[in-house]
Amino acid sequence: MKYVIANQPFTVLTLHMEQGEAIKCQSGAMAWMSPGIHMETKTGGLGGMFKKAIIGESLALNHYSAEQAGELTLAKHSPGDIMAFNISETPIIAQKTSFLAATEGVNMDIFLQHRAGAGFFGGEGFLMQKFSGSGYAWLEIDGAVQERVLEAGEKLVVDSGYVAAMEATCSMDIQTVKGFTNVLLGGEGLFNTVVTGPGKVWLQTMPINSLAMSLYAYMPHPSN
Mean per-residue pLDDT, 120-144: 80
Q: Note whether 45 and 60 are within 8 A (CB).
A: no
The enclosing H or E element of 185 equals helix 180-185
Res. 70: pLDDT tops 90: yes
CB contact set of 9 (below 8 Å; sequence gap of 6+)? 79, 80, 81, 143, 144
What share of the chain has pLDDT > 90, as a percent?
56
What are the E-state strand segments in the chain? 2-6, 12-17, 22-26, 30-33, 37-42, 61-66, 70-75, 80-86, 92-94, 99-103, 106-112, 127-133, 136-142, 145-150, 155-159, 163-167, 171-176, 191-196, 199-204
pLDDT at 124: 47
How many other CB atoms are found less than 10 A from the CB of residue 149?
Answer: 11
CB 49 within 8 A of CB 43: yes
Q: Which has more confidence, 190 or 193? A: 193
**Dist. CA 212–CA 201, nearest whole Å:** 24
In terms of phi and psi (left: phi > 0; alpha: psi -120 to 50; beta: otherwise), the region of 186 is alpha
Domain 2-216: top CATH class: alpha beta
Higher pLDDT, 181 or 37: 37
Q: What is the pLDDT of residue 179?
A: 46
Q: Can you give the length of the chain in residues?
A: 224
Contact 24, 63 (CB under 8 A): yes
Query: Mean pLDDT throughout 185-213?
Result: 75
Q: How far apart are CA 177 and CA 188, in angstroms?
A: 8
**Omega of the bond leading into 198 within 30 degrees of 0 (cis):** yes
**pLDDT reported for residue 185:** 40
User: Residue 73 in contact with residue 31, Cβ under 8 Å?
Assistant: yes
Quick check: 199 and 155 in contact, CB under 8 A?
Answer: no
Model pTM score: 0.81
Query: What values do phi and psi take at 19, rounded to 5?
Result: -55, 130
